[in-house]
Amino acid sequence: ITQCATQLDNGNIFVGVWGSGLYAYDSNFNPVNLPRDLDSLKDRYSIWNVLQHSKSRMIWMGTQSGGLIVYDPVKDKHTTMMPDVFRRRTLRVMIEDRQGNIWIGTQGGLVVKWDPKLAGNDLRKGFTVVAETGLIHKLFEARDGMIWAATLGRGLLKIDPVLNKVIDVYRKDGPAGGQLWSDVVTDIAQRNDSILLVSSGALNMINIRTRRIVHISTQDGLPGNNINCIQRDKNGIFWLGSINGICRFNIDIGTFTTYDRRDGISNDAFSPGDAHALPDGRLVFTNNQNFLVFDPLKMVQSRIPPDASVTDFRIGNQPVPVDSLMRLQKIRLPYDKNSIVIEFSALNYLKEQKLHYHYQLENLEKEMQEADGQAQAVYSYLPPGEYVFNVMAENADGITSKNITSLRIQI
């Protein structure tokens, strides 16, 4: 199971794998040899995370049973230790804060802080238990310096890194307007100074200044309430990993675009904390078989999508030749043939499933409606009158087709 991907200051990328150790790649993900002293880690350890400390340049690796490996790339020498503070539980997550402290989350639910000032020259010192909670899926440093912990069953913890204590907890049973979707929190990202995006099945958009929480679920267009990991790209787009694919979420306009096996992702099931960002903007999503690397800027073409076309028209359940209908200035239907289904598509568009459609039946609907995954509009028992059906296509960046396709209907 691939657990992590971290790019080092020399450009190489270390990938940690559960059950088979550590692997190294160049910046283009061509396999390269591990440093000689680390070659022994291959096939011997389960590497859960890799972090290169910004000040010392030492490379920290968390393993199972409370094991910590610290590698000095200058001396090409690693040290293996099992500090008692971890209580022999897997070191699942590691991050570095802006002060150079390292925060570690364990399988046993400990949040541990390592302070280099307290450690001095002894790596075995400087550890402080800051919280004891549920299994730690993710640690995250917010823009204001606060540390957030995503836990299994214990909600979302806010930690003051100066006081070394939990100062707030968000739970499913929290106060009205401030309730998590679930207490199983799997990942954390930040939109701006005020808003965190937190996955716990569905998404929680948390205003950390007011404690107000807005849920984003399938009712809002999310492909499924099974989001496990989140990564924000350099353009502010959020990429969501779930048990059945990756979803691109443009939070500014509220659009979702899903990528899965139909797009060439051989294994499209992603687990908690599986999303990682490289310094150059590429994203890495790891899973139980391999890992996926992509440049998010190349995933969406911001060109104008083709105009939508009416592809099927049914009266009751009886299809009517569309070509003949489209040649008519107006479709006239008797009063007892007033239940219709209109299907539409942007013909010849390679990535049809990446488009969204908006439609409206003038004189019945006051504004455009967003189509569901079937790309159809259903109207039952329309009253007598004059109608105009309009439909247009929209891509993932909110760019709409040049023209609105219209169909005049009289009942």
DSSP states of 87-101: TT--EEEEEE-TTS-
Q: Is 38 helix (H, G, I), strand (E, B) or coil?
A: helix
- The answer to whether the CB of 407 falls within 8 A of the CB of 331 is yes
Q: What is the pLDDT along the chain (411 residues), one digit of tens a residue?
A: 788 999 999 999 999 988 888 999 999 999 999 999 998 887 777 899 999 999 999 999 999 999 999 999 999 999 999 999 999 999 999 999 999 999 999 999 999 999 999 999 899 999 999 999 999 999 999 999 999 999 999 999 999 999 999 999 999 999 999 999 999 999 999 999 999 999 999 999 999 999 999 999 999 889 899 999 999 999 999 999 999 899 999 999 888 888 888 778 888 888 887 899 999 999 999 888 788 999 998 876 667 888 999 999 999 889 999 888 888 899 999 999 999 999 998 875 445 457 889 999 999 999 999 897 788 999 999 999 999 999 999 887 788 999 999 999 999
SS3 at position 10: coil
- Cross-sheet strand order for the sheet of 195-200: 187-190, 195-200, 202-207, 213-216
- In angstroms, what CA-CA distances link 133 with 48, 92, 122, 179, 189? 19, 14, 28, 19, 21
H/E stretch holding 116 reads: helix 116-119
375: which 2 tokens? 């790309």
At residue 39, the 3 state secondary structure works out as helix
Cα–Cα distance measured from residue 95 to residue 139, given in angstroms and rounded to the nearest whole number: 7
Pairing of strands 405-410, 331-332: parallel
- Measured between alpha carbons, how far is 50 from 34 in angstroms, rounded to an integer? 14
Q: How far apart are CA 254 and CA 240, in angstroms?
A: 14
Distance CA 127, CA 81 (A): 13
Domains of the chain: 2-298 (2.130.10.10), 309-410 (2.60.40.10)
| Maximum alpha-carbon separation in the chain | 88
**Average predicted confidence (pLDDT) for the chain:** 92
Between CA 389 and CA 409 the distance in angstroms is 7
The pTM score is 0.82
